[in-house]
Amino acid sequence: MIFDNFEVDGVQQVVEFKPLYGGYFHVYINRYFVTSISYTTEGWRVHFNNNSWLTKDEADIMIELIESGEIPTL
């Protein structure tokens, strides 16, 4: 799923979610991998791997979209 049509600090942003098997998701911003989100027995985990504007607040929104089914899973 791709989200586009917005800017951060005047730079056009494209956010892409790629679902993977086993409850994992990769998140890319402008085609660069920035984080993964996974569901474990302990709940949701967000692994911030690279510096970006993505914060816990945005990750919580992504998790809500996954739980509601707006972001499809495999």
What does pLDDT average to over the chain? 86
Evaluate whether residue 35 is within a structural domain: yes
How many domains does the chain divide into? Answer: 1
- Is 0.95 topped by the overall pTM? no
Full residue range of the structural domain in which residue 47 is found = 2-60
Using CA atoms, how far apart are residues 30 and 12, in angstroms rounded to an integer? Answer: 8
Is the predicted pLDDT of residue 51 greater than 80, yes or no?
Answer: no
Using CA atoms, how far apart are residues 49 and 46, in angstroms rounded to an integer? Answer: 9
Using CA atoms, how far apart are residues 35 and 50, in angstroms rounded to an integer? Answer: 7
Q: What is the pLDDT of residues 14-36, one digit of tens each?
A: 989 899 988 889 999 889 898 89
- Per-residue CA distances from 7 to 1, 15, 50 (Å): 18, 11, 19
Evaluate whether residue 73 is within a structural domain: no
Evaluate whether residue 71 is within a structural domain: no
Evaluate whether residue 11 is within a structural domain: yes
Q: Which helix (H) or strand (E) holds 1?
A: none
